[in-house]
Structure formats: C-alpha cells, structure tokens
Chains A and B, each alone.
Chain A
Amino acid sequence: MARRDEAAGEGTAVSDTRASAPPVAAPGRVVLAMEGIRKTFPGVVALDDVDFEVRAGEVHALLGENGAGKSTLIKIVAGLYRPDAGVIRVDGEPVEFRNPADSLERRIKVVYQELDLVPGLSVAENVFLGGYPRTSHGLVDFAAMRRRTTELLGELGLTIDPDRPVGELRVAQQQLVEIARALSRHAQLIVMDEPTSALSSGEVDILFGVIARLQERGVAIVYVSHKLDEIYRIADRVTVFRDGKRVVTEAAAATTPRQLVAWMVGRDLQDLFPKTAPEIGRPLLEARGVSGSGLHGIDLTVRAGEVVGIFGLMGAGINTVGRVLFGASERAGGTVALDGQAIRPNTPRDAIAKGLGLLTESRKDDGLVLPLSVRANMTLASLSRFANLSWIHGREEARAAGQWVDRLSIKTPSLAQPVRYLSGGNQQKVLMARWLLRQHNLKVLMLAEPTRGIDVGSKAEIYRLIDEMAHGGMGILFMSTEIPEILGIADRILVMREGRITAELTRAEATQERLVAAAAVGRAPASAGVAQEAGD
C-alpha cells in the first residue's frame, strides 16, 4: 500500500502525489544478488547452493531444462517461496521476501506464464491492481488511472482502450498489460517467464522493442526462455541451470548454441534413451487435412511399431494435435482413421473404443482424478476389463494395478492412497499405467509431454516403456517441446509451427539445429547455423 503514491506517479493530477518516480539503478550496478540459495522439497533438491546476480540495464537470460530449478528461483525472487538457506540482496541490502508484497516493495515484478490478471476488470484497473490512485475524497481516481495507463501503454508502443475488460484482449496484449503493471510500480527488475510462448512473430518483435526501451531506462530484465534464437537476439548474459545447480554464467556473445545445449543437457543422452531398432508395420493412425482448434491441414501417419515425434515450440500447437485426433478438442475438418476405421470427431469415447489412447499434457486439468485412489485412477480407462455386467472384481483389479505399481516403481504407501498425495513423477506414472492397463485394446497411444516436470530417473523409465510398447506393435505419437528426448526416441519427427506441420525429418536426418530452425522459421535448413539465421 505504501507504493500507492508512487504508483499514481509522475506529475499526474493525483492530489496526494508526493514524489516523482524513484531513480532506477545506474547501468551496470548489481540490482539483485542471490548467494548460496538452497531450496528443497520433499525428496527433491530444487536449488542447490545457487549464486545468481542481475545488473541494471541488462537482459539476463535464464536457461535450463524443465525441472532444472529456474521456476523455483523465480518463485523465490517473487516472494512465493522462501529459500532454506542463502542470502538475497537488493541494491546491496540483504532482504527477506516473506510474501509477494515484500518483493513488489523492492520494485521487483514477475510476469508469469499464467497471467495474473483479473479478466473482468478493465485494463487500467489491472495495471494498478493493489495500489489504485485516489482522489482527495478517497475514491479511486479513474481519470488519473486511465491517463497513466494510456501513458504507460504508450511507452510500450501500444494503444489499447484502458477501459476495456482485460478478458477481451488477446494474449499478447494481456502480456503487455502485465508489463505495464510492472512499470506502474516502477519496477527496477522485471522477470519474464517464457513471455513469447503464445506470441506470433510480429508480437515478439513488439515485445523485444519494449524490452530494449526498458533496458535503456536501466531496468534489469531476467528472461526465461527455451528459444535459443530469442536469447541471441536480446540477451546480454546467459545463466544455465541443470538439476538445481548453476552450470555457468557467460556473456551471450561468447557462447555458441551447441555449447548452451550441452550445458543444459549435460549428460550422455544414449543412457537415457534405450532406443532399439524398430520393426515398422502397417499404417495404423491416419489423419488427413485435420483442422480446428488452431490447427491447419494436419496430415500424419503413425505405423505399427513406430514412434512418431511431434516437435514445436510452446504455442505451436503440438499438444493440440493429440487432443484433436482424440476428440478432446474441436475438430472442424479432415478425417482421422485408426486401422482403417474412421474416428468420429469430438467424441473421446469413440476414439477409445476404436483403440486410441491419449495421455494429456496437463496432469491436474484433465488427467488425474485427484481425490480418487491410485488404483481407481489407474483403471479408469480399462475398468470394463475387470467387470462383469458392471460388477467390479476388486481382487483382479487390485492385482493388475499392483503389477504396474511394481513395474513402474511407483512410490505410494498403498493402492488406496488418494493420488493427490503422490509426487509429480509418480502421478505421471499412474497416468502412464492407465493406458498401459488398456494395452491389448490399444493400437496407437498418443503422449503429450509425458515427461514434463519429472525427474531424470522417471523420464528414463517412461522412455523405456515407450520403446517397449512400440516393440509390441503399438504405434506411438510423442509430442514434446524438448529436443533431446524427441531426438532420443522418435523414429520420425514432425515439426510444427503456428498450427501447421512445417517439416518432416527421419531419425537420421534430424539434428538439434534443423528442429529448431523448422520450429522457429518454418523450414529446415540444409546445414547448421540456427542462431545466426533466426537472429537476423
């Protein structure tokens, strides 16, 4: 609340305005310094003795695979988590962030991937949420708020009616509203968590223009992204995380994409991916000209015994492919057939009955039934196997579920444990088991980012299972935004960008560079040199 006066800011008509904006740190000065930060969660060391610093006026890119510790670090900076050990200094002073308000007080603003906007409120109100300017009567000064919002959005090169409800804006505009919100609080450090994942290339240009302007004003930016081309476009320095540790901090210009990937992955991929020679049979899943839900003219074929990978950056629509083929998202046009039988659109039941399975990308939204037991979650899609005239044979069901708990080494005290209490990796294995229990009725299994947010050991386990299922004659469609695993397990890779398939590469042809290029600019180059090409 103390920030209200400043938030009202700079020479507006707000009656109780005292000061103009406080000065932003001089360029080069260390704004945020984190020393020896450690954070553990039950069973996992999320951050292990990490040092990290950000200087005024720099764009500091944060890189790392999922689970490397980036998001934990961000949440500590935001005041959402408290570190177990370590010191945080802002402007050289040691600080303690007990809640988000403390962090905001230090003029640090995190722009999250899940936008923290109130859809029903206007743009102006969202920008000033938590600290509205007031008139002398104590009422909200809408005039000042509107004017300041227009100014702030103007600084970002944006003209949006400040009275429009935020819910009516496009995602890119919403993102810029979040940044305007940071400016309204005179943030000296803005953390952007994968800000471009839902933006078109034109919108990305606008965002980068904004970032450049912020930099000139001395604002420090921490930029989290998977996209190497973006990092080479805007980052001054890069810090790479792996398995909760900081691997390196380096000037961006002094690194090569190959180096960055090596730092990020840092392990021998062959051990992770027990890929064996495939025996590819007849076509099973055939999609022709599928559109809807943001997809355009998707053609693909998955054959028996084949693992087909779909790669794309966040927002490219890779997971939507699985959802549309399965009927979980709207299919507007095109045909889908499984083993010669047409699959009706928008009816998951029909897809399942004909032998298709889908492991969705969001465990909690449409995967797990959180209050139900491990066993009930596992057998949800195959319950009829254990039932006569709908009477469930509990013992058979328990035996079958128990076998998979053992085989997948799922850590749970019992089969009756509500799945809510399992760790993310174990929850993911429960969902894998749901489809494994349907194996004999399953011709093609589609998996959307099945390894997201889980530890390396569980990942390897899941890769092994995929390989095993393919060997059993099943077709696999594997959707992922992570290059190493796509390269590691797919026999054939489709690359997507903006809802279209832009390239198809065999296992032999596929390289990191080609994938990135096809995903970022829409075509696969003959040779390497991604960063330069995408960066120009």
Chain B
Amino acid sequence: MERAPALDIEPTARERANPLAGAVRWLFRTQEGILLVVLIALCLLLARLSPVFASERNIFVLLSQMSMTAIVAIGMTLLIVAREIDLSVGSMQAFVGVVAMQALNATEHLLAGLAVALLAGVAVGLVNAGLTLKLKINSFIVTLAMFSIVRGLAYTFTAASVQNHHKLESFRAIGTGFAFTLPGIGRVPWPVVIAAAIFALFAVILNKTTFGRAVYAVGGNPRAAELSGIRVDLIKTLCFVITSVLAALAAFILISRMNSGQNNAGFGFELQVIGAVLLGGASLAGGQGTLLGTLLAVLLLGTLNNGIVLLGINSSWQVAVNGLVIVIAVLLDARRRRSLGQD
C-alpha cells in the first residue's frame, strides 16, 4: 500500500521478514500509530473508570458529536497537504446555518436547504481560492479576512437565530436520526454514517487517484509539480472548494442537531479543526499528512473531552486538555525530526 509519506524511516529487511516487528514499529514510530496506541489506552482507561463510557448510547453520542469536526477536518487535511489553509470554516458554521435554515423554512424542502448550504460552500471556497491564487495573497490572510466577512454576513443576514419552523422529519433525522441498526452493536446515527462515508471517499481519492497524488505533489513542491505538468492552481482551487463544501455540510448537520441556525455558531471551530489535522501528522509545510491520522486525532480529542465529562471533571478542563495534547504532539514531532537529523 502506498502510504502517504510520513516521517518514519522505512522498515529494515529484518522487519519486513517479520510482519509483527513491522507492525510494532508502525505503532510506535509513526504519528498514526502513536495516536492509535494512545486512543486505545484512553478508551480502556475510561471504560474502567466509568461504566457509562462503553455503553452504546455514549459511544454513538460521542461519535455523532465528533462527526462534524471529522467532516471538516477531512477537507482541511487536503488543504493543508496542498500547503494552504482555511480559517473561515468556523464562520461558515454560522453563515451556512442561518442561510440554509431560512431556505428550509421558505421551501419546506430538505434538498432545497441542502442545495443552498452546499452552494454557499462552493461560493466561499471559490472566493477563498480566487483571492489566494489570483491576487497572490497568503491564504492565511485571505481566509482570516473571510473569517470576519463570512461571520459578518451571517449577522447581516439575521440578527437572531433562525428557528426550524416546519419541523421537517427528514431534516431533523440528519442530525439526530439513525441510519440503520448494526446487529449486536446498536443503532448507528446518521451523522456517523455520513462522516464515515466521506472519510472512505476521500481516503480513496487521496490515496488512489491522480488528483490525490497531485495534492501531495502540489503541497510538497509546487514548482516541481508544475514542471511535471500538474495544474497547480486547479488542484488548489479544488481543495479550497472541497473544504468549504464539507464545512457547509457540517453546518447543515449542526443546524439539524440544534434545530435552529445560529449566527454565533462555530466560534473557535477553525482552530479546533486545524489543531486536529496537525495533531494527526499533517505539516503546515505541505506535502505531508494522512486522513487516517486526522481521523484518529479527531477521535482522540473527542474521547478526551467525553472522558472529562463522564468522570465528572469540571468541563472547563476540556479546553486546556485539548491545548495540552496539541503541545505534546508538536513536541514529540519536533523530537522525532531531530532524531532523524532533519532541519
């Protein structure tokens, strides 16, 4: 399998002969492996400390909550791998939320609301890409400005939150309903199914298609990619649009869960998402990062927060612990780089 490039050194001949040694090495030497080990350890610990943790209800509530972060983080991974960034995804939660909810109320039709949400995503993505690529302004700055503008548009659109007036059953199901029942496990919520499907789709795209390869090449060395015949601006534009559309989709799930579109939704969401992507092993220098790493990082942060709640710890610790996990991850990464003699 062509693993996306990580910092690990390749297995030695002996390790290749002994798959177990290779697996152990993967677990302890790669970002994904370490995250998996920590996640499993955390789950075992929480299961011991709290009887509620391993319950079907808690697990699926936990996963539902994380699904929105996961969906946006998938797009953000593509974008960061392509050496760009999007700080406007938090503001998108508010903007798309109120606009889509308004559309739902006006049309009483689920697909109309969804279409409006996704179109808003495409529009913002194209603006981000256009300003970054055509005017050649750093995407950090462009999307920082869009972070203000999009949030402001949400407020301009409505001074208060937009309630769900028509109580469309199919709409509410997206956030709170169940897709199907897994025998022996339980009823799987729609948000989890949607997130899983998107993860699978983009995992395939990133690893198995020429587009995915181009994303890595464009982020790793844009000049080299261009001189190899890759349309750098096109690839980056697609990444911007994908990120915004996924942010819009997450916003749609969010309004369904809250049953209202709120113009103050998503404060600080962009930094949570970016934090998770980087914790998952992506590098702001581009060309590095995997969706598996991102997913594990999202799960780890979500489980930590869940654990804090279950153990009756002051929920204010959640924020601090999230930050600490990011600092520790970056510290480990810095040490690993140094031991490999980079920089």
Contacts and interface: CB of A to CB of B under 8 A. Distances in A.
* Chain A partners chain B: yes
Interface of A: 326, 328, 348-349, 352-353, 358, 360, 365-373, 375-376, 380-381, 383-384, 387, 390-392, 394, 398, 413-414, 416-418, 420-421, 434
B183 interface: no
Contacts of A376: 2, 5, 213, 216-217
Interface residues of B, number: 31
B181 interface: no
Contact of A370 (B1, B208, B221, B231): B221
A414 B221 contact: no
Interface in B193-216: 208-211, 213, 216
Please indicate which of the listed interface residues B5, B286, B287 has the most CB atoms of chain A within 10 Å of its own CB.
B5
B287 A348 contact: no
Contacts of B286: 371
Contacts of B216: 369, 371-372, 376
Interface stretch (B133-141, B154-162, B222-230, B253-261): B222-230
Given A366-B227, A413-B12, A390 B217 contact: no
B221 A394 contact: no
Given A352-B228, A416-B2, 15 more contacts: A352-B229, A360-B227, A367-B224, A369-B221, A369-B224, A370-B220, A376-B2, A380-B213, A387-B209, A390-B210, A391-B208, A391-B209, A413-B11, A416-B3, A417-B9
A421 B342 CA distance: 10
Interface in B311-343: 342
Interface of B: 1-3, 5, 9-12, 208-211, 213, 216-217, 220-221, 223-231, 283, 286-288, 342
A366 B221 CA distance: 7
Contacts of B1: 394
B interface, over-half SS = loop
Given A349-B229, A380-B228, A414-B10, A365 B287 contact: no
Contact of A384 (B210, B221, B225, B287): B210
B236 to A, nearest CB: 15
A193 to B, nearest CB: 24
Contacts of B226: 328, 348-349, 366
A392 B224 CA distance: 20
A366 B228 CA distance: 10
A328 B220 contact: no
Given A390-B209, A392-B210, A372 B9 contact: no
Please indicate which of the listed interface residues A326, A328, A371 has the most CB atoms of chain B within 10 Å of its own CB.
A371
Please indicate which of the listed interface residues B210, B216, B231 has the most CB atoms of chain A within 10 Å of its own CB.
B210
A288 to B, nearest CB: 23
In the A-B complex, list the 7 residue pairs whose CB atoms are closest, starting with the nearest. A366-B223, A369-B220, A371-B287, A352-B229, A381-B228, A413-B10, A380-B228
Contact of B223 (A365, A370, A398, A418): A365
B5 A372 contact: yes
Contacts of B221: 366-370
A368 B224 contact: yes
A79 to B, nearest CB: 19
A353 B287 CA distance: 25
A53 to B, nearest CB: 33
A419 B225 CA distance: 15
B220 A372 contact: yes
Contact of A373 (B5, B9, B208, B225): B5
Please indicate which of the listed interface residues A328, A373, A413, A416 has the most CB atoms of chain B within 10 Å of its own CB.
A416
Nearest to A350: B229
Nearest to B217: A369
A417 B211 CA distance: 21
Contacts of B11: 413-414
10 contacts: A365-B223, A366-B221, A366-B224, A369-B224, A371-B5, A371-B283, A371-B287, A372-B287, A373-B5, A416-B2
Contacts of A328: 226-227
Contacts of A373: 2, 5
B274 to A, nearest CB: 19
A357 B283 CA distance: 31
A416 B26 CA distance: 14
Given A387-B210, A392-B208, A369 B227 contact: no
A358 B227 contact: yes
Contacts of A414: 10-11
B220 A371 contact: yes
A421 B231 CA distance: 27
B14 to A, nearest CB: 12
Contact of A381 (B9, B229, B287): B229
Contacts of B210: 383-384, 387, 390, 392
Given A384-B210, A391-B209, A413-B10, A371 B225 contact: no
Contacts of A392: 208-210, 213
A381 B225 CA distance: 8
Given A375-B2, A417-B10, A434 B228 contact: yes
A371 B220 CA distance: 6
Contacts of B229: 348-349, 352-353, 381
A326 B288 contact: no
Please indicate which of the listed interface residues B2, B286, B287 has the most CB atoms of chain A within 10 Å of its own CB.
B2
